[in-house]
Every structure is written in structure tokens, then in C-alpha cells.
Amino acid sequence: MGLFDFFTREIAIDLGTANTLIIMNDKVVVDEPSIVAKDIQSGAIVAIGKTAQQMHGKTHKLIETIRPLKDGVIADFESAEQMIRGMIKMIHTGNRLITPSLRMVICIPSGITEVEMRAVKESAERVNGKEVYLIHEPMAAAIGIGLDIMQPKGNMIVDIGGGTTEIAVIALGGIVCDKSVKIAGDVFTNDIIYYMRTQHNLYVGESTAENIKIEIGSATEDLQTPPDEKSVQGRDLLTGKPKQVQISYREIAKALDKSILRVEDAVMETLSQTPPELAADIYNTGIYLAGGGSMLRGLDRRLSQKTDLPVYIAEDPLRAVVRGTGIALKNLERYKSILIK
């Protein structure tokens, strides 16, 4: 081990629109929502990740919560950098006297622009990143799922995150065709807020709607193992009083239907642009799902019925991308051609 190695840490970062994860030494050392809370007057960061999340929707005049990567783009560069810095600081390095320099691979949503990519890279360099590589999300997801992406064989990946759904066909270590649509977890959550307002006159916040989605959300009205009804509390739009209603998964399936249709359409469109030899491969291998949105009940079955293909959900779908990013970090030589220096 050279002196350089001794002072160098290697980390892999999945900079997601909803969650940021960091792997160091094969372990997930950070897994936090991509959110910061700021003091409006001084601009100082008061909380990052889970603690900032708890403040979301409950802030007063002097504090605001910001999701720097909302909608699959970097909406707020300064907050994004502060967030990356804060999350890296969360890693307990053992030795506080020296700040090690970092070799990093960062996974970025593939919809982000050249300028945004440069901004992420520069932010990383400012937090002591001496060697910084970027990797596109569908690539990282595919590696994390365990696919051999270097083979002359087509694979289709659908990563449903918070801000975007990224669909890609990968072969020979490259993206052959892809599509990124801004219909994903956040839109599903907003659909639920809208549904509650229009069908039940109930005004619910984002966190409540997200809980509904996770606890009883569904992509279809005929689930084989349906979840129990859920009591939902919010504010009555007519009387202004707090109130509670009972909701079934069928209602949520109705609320989400239009958005799921758009995800289906995007998958169909990507399939129709796939070169025939690769389409033949996908006929045999099927479609792989990753990202938190892939856990929506019945979504895999619905996509399978639509495409007539087998659909598989990645093991631990929220971590597939960071896992893949970590594998790329450990095998820099092998994955040289897909990393963006």
C-alpha cells in the first residue's frame, strides 16, 4: 500500500432525485433522502437527509426544505453541492485528523445535461475528490442487478425513481436506445394528493400521500394479495377541520392509472426502437425493474401483460444502482469505457 492509497478513500455515490446512497468498502454507509433544510435568512444548512425530511411540510417562515434534484434535473446547484458535502461528512472515517482525498464514482440521472454533469463533477472535486468519474444510471442499475453488460446481448432496464423513469436497452457496454420520462414516484405521490382532494375533499401533505402509496399503493385494481384499507388523516377542504377517511388500494390504483399508462407507453416506445437482434434477446431475457417505484404492487405484472415479456424486479431495488456504482468503482479498468471522466 503506497502513501497515496493510505490517504485515499474510494466511495461510490448514487445521487438520486429521491435518495442518495454511498458505498464504501462494499458497505452502504449513507442512505438518506436527497433533501436539505435551510435557514432562509442566513442561507445556512440546518439539516440534511432524514432530519430534513422530517421537517418537510412542517416548516415555518424561517426554514425551507429543498430537494436539490427535483424532477430529474439539478434544480438548485448550491444546495446540491451542500448536500453532497454533508452526506460525505456523514461517513465515519475513523481518523478525523486527516481528510482523505477521494476516488469517486457518481451515478447521475441520465436525463441531466452536460452543464449539470460538469457541475456535479466540480462539486465532487471541491469536496476533496481527486479522481472523479460519472456513470449513467441505467448502466449502474444493470451492473447492480448482476447483468453482464459487456456481452453482445441486449438487456432492457427500467429504473423507476423519484423524479424520472429511465428506460434503456444495453448491449456491449453501451446504451443502444433509451428514454427518460418525468413520470415516477413523485408524480404517483402527487396523483394521490390530487385524488384525495377531488374525491374526498381531503387535503393531505406529501409525506402522508407517500405513505399511502407505499402502504396500499397499487398499479392494478385486481391484486392477488390486497393490502388492508388504510385510515388517512388530513384537512377537510370544506369545513377546514382535521378529518379521517378510509381508503382502499383500488382507489389508489384508479388515482395512479394515467401515470402508469405513460410509463407503459414509454416502455413500449423504447421496445419499438430496439434493433431486431436485440429485441430477440429481450424476448428471451425479459425486462428488469429497479428503483423504489418498481415496488409498487402489481406494476411488474401489469408491465408483463402489456409487453408479453417476463418482468423481474431487482433484488433490493432501492440499492441496485448504488451496488452497480460500487462494482464499477472496484473494477475501474474493466468499466473504463462506460465511465465518464
Contact between 68 and ligand ADP per CB under 6 A: no
The candidate with the shortest Cα–Cα distance to 70, out of 109, 38, 104, 31, is 109
Contact (Cβ atoms closer than 8 angstroms) between residue 293 and residue 165: yes
Of the candidate spans 10-18, 141-149, 228-236, 250-258, the one that interacts with ligand ADP by CB under 6 A turns out to be 10-18
All residues at 6 or more sequence positions from 133 whose CB lies less than 8 Å from its CB, including other chains? 104, 105, 106, 328, 332, 339, 340, 341
Of the candidate spans 86-94, 156-164, 193-201, 300-308, the one that interacts with Mg ion by CB under 5 A turns out to be 156-164
Beta carbon nearer to ligand ADP, 66 or 278? 66
All residues at 6 or more sequence positions from 326 whose CB lies less than 8 Å from its CB, including other chains? 12, 23, 26, 105
CA distances from 107 to 139, 151, 310, 323 (A): 9, 22, 27, 11
186: partner contacted, choices ligand ADP, Mg ion, none (Cβ within 5-8 A by kind): ligand ADP
Beta carbon nearer to ligand ADP, 71 or 131? 71
Beta carbon nearer to ligand ADP, 38 or 213? 213
Contact (Cβ atoms closer than 8 angstroms) between residue 34 and residue 18: yes
Taking the complex as a whole, the smallest distance from the CB of residue 215 to ligand ADP amounts, in Å, to 8
Spatial separation of the C-alpha atoms in residues 176 and 180, rounded to whole Å: 14
Q: Which of 63, 268, 295, 313 touches ligand ADP by CB under 6 A?
A: 295
Spatial separation of the C-alpha atoms in residues 236 and 120, rounded to whole Å: 42
Contact between 303 and ligand ADP per CB under 6 A: no
Of the candidate spans 174-182, 211-219, 276-284, 317-325, the one that interacts with Mg ion by CB under 5 A turns out to be 317-325
Beta carbon nearer to ligand ADP, 202 or 318? 318
Strands (DSSP E) along 49-173, which ranges? 63-66, 101-108, 129-136, 155-160, 165-171
Q: Which of 16, 49, 72, 185 touches Mg ion by CB under 5 A?
A: 16
Q: Which residues bind ligand ADP (CB under 6 A)?
A: 16-19, 161-163, 185-186, 210, 213-214, 217, 291-293, 295-296, 318
Q: Which residues bind Mg ion (CB under 5 A)?
A: 16, 161, 321
